[in-house]
Amino acid sequence: MKTKSKMTLVRLLAGKNMSEVAKEDGVSPQAVRFRLTPEDLATYQNHSAQLSADRQQADVDDMEERRAWRWGSKPEARFWENVDIQGPDDCWEWQGSRLPSGYGQLHIWGDKNHLYAHRVTWEIAHGPVPDDLDICHSCDNPPCCNPAHLWAGTAKQNTWDSIRKGRFKPFGNKCPTCNIDEVE
Ligand SMILES: [Zn+2]
């Protein structure tokens, strides 16, 4: 029993997870778990916890590195030169080029594509924007780059936000059958 447990533990510590070991042996993951003595199970669990902590730390380091690469102190200062900075509660409008939709855009050091100024603002304040999130304006002013007016939400939250504010018009300006104020 103990030997079997140790041999299984060795394979787990070598980097396989329980499902992989189970697959190799043609048994259920549960069966693999039952092979382990409580001490060996605890050793494996500590090992897994450490691994995932290391992985998270690596992600954080990677984000920091990307941020440092893009935002040495100079480019960041250059970015703010294009923003009309006002009081903390006011809108800070982008003074550089704008898209027809009103959003500020810029071409950035090291990136091939144009970036949205408000997304870059959020990035300066919080780090890289997660892939699945939109950066939304609480002030509804597209060129605004006041970090206090920006929030990150899913596309779905963004749509709901514009519905709440009566800006979402799937039927053009007039909807004969619904009252948008009553959506909530
Ligand atoms: Zn604003």
| Alpha carbon of 2 to ligand 1 centroid (Å) | 65
* The pTM of the whole model exceeds 0.85: no
| Alpha carbon of 25 to ligand 1 centroid (Å) | 60
Which of the residue ranges 18-27, 105-114, 125-134 has the most confident prediction, judged by mean pLDDT? 18-27
**177 pLDDT above the threshold of 80:** no
Quote the DSSP letter at residue 26: T
Give residue for tokens 């780059």.
145
| Alpha carbon of 4 to ligand 1 centroid (Å) | 64
Mean pLDDT of the 132-137 span: 89
**Which token pair is 153?**
């939400």
Which of helix, strand or coil describes residue 150? Answer: strand
| Alpha carbon of 183 to ligand 1 centroid (Å) | 25
The b/e string for 49-70 (b: 16+ C-beta within 10 A; e otherwise) is eeeeeeeeeeeeeeeeeeeeeb
Domain positions in the chain: 2-70, 73-153
The Cα 182–Cα 165 span in angstroms is 11
Which of helix, strand or coil describes residue 59? Answer: helix
